[in-house]
């Protein structure tokens, strides 16, 4: 009888730990971060697990800032197929407003962004935010400027890096997005 209880207890513990493991996320989504213009943090794992991600470091005063328009169009076209665009404003290249309200105005009013935007944070260097730390570790590619793009499979195992000059509406880039959505 004692042996049976021990076996049942062990089976229940193994089952519970397996369920917890199945619900966990990797290094990219395993964080809660503050959103742009909001006081609450967002649990990335809970919110975006199982989605194909396009993660972009953004800036409001950059020559690439008009990419917001094509990022928004890409998001609108593919969100029903599981794509989520995540924007991370950064002042690492000295082209982001110090005021979150001005950053939000550029994103939401000037470009009509509806995809999730996070509070301004570092995307490289010693104080890099944990999402970009994980992206850099997976790809070996640090953002060299604003609007670097990281395309992430829903299981976080595949991550492809694209530089600033690759526009979100570039035909080859869109093919990469479509291929990953189809594979996921």
Cα distances from 7 to residues 1, 49, 65, 73, in angstroms, run 10, 33, 60, 55
Q: What are phi and psi of 131, to 5 degrees?
A: -65, -50
Q: Which helix (H) or strand (E) holds 87?
A: strand 83-89
Angle at 133 between CA 104 and CA 43, to 5 degrees: 55
**DSSP bridge partners of 85:** 54
Cα distances from 58 to residues 10, 14, 148, in angstroms, run 48, 43, 8
Residue 62 is among the residues annotated as catalytic for this protein: yes
- Residues near 171 by Cβ (< 8 Å), separated by ≥ 6? none
- The active-site residue out of 25, 45, 62, 107 is 62
Q: Give the residue numbers annotated as catalytic, written as ranges.
A: 62
């Amino acid at each position: 009888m004692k042996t049976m209880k021990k076996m049942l207890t062990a089976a229940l513990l193994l089952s519970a730990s397996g369920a917890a493991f199945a619900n966990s996320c990797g290094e990219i989504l395993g964080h809660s971060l503050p959103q742009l213009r909001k006081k609450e943090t967002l649990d990335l794992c809970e919110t975006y697990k199982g989605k194909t991600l396009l993660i972009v470091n953004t800036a409001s005063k950059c020559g690439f800032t008009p990419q917001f328009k094509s990022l928004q169009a890409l998001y609108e076209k593919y969100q029903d197929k599981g794509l989520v665009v995540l924007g991370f404003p950064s002042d690492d290249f000295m082209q982001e407003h110090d005021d979150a309200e001005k950053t939000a105005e550029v994103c939401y009013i000037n470009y009509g962004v509806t995809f999730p935007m996070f509070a301004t944070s570092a995307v490289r260097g010693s104080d890099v935010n944990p999402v970009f730390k994980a992206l850099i570790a997976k790809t070996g590619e640090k953002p060299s400027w604003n609007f670097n793009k990281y395309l992430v499979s829903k299981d976080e195992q595949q991550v492809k890096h694209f530089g600033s000059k690759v526009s979100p509406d570039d035909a080859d880039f869109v093919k990469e997005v479509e291929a990953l959505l189809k594979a996921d």
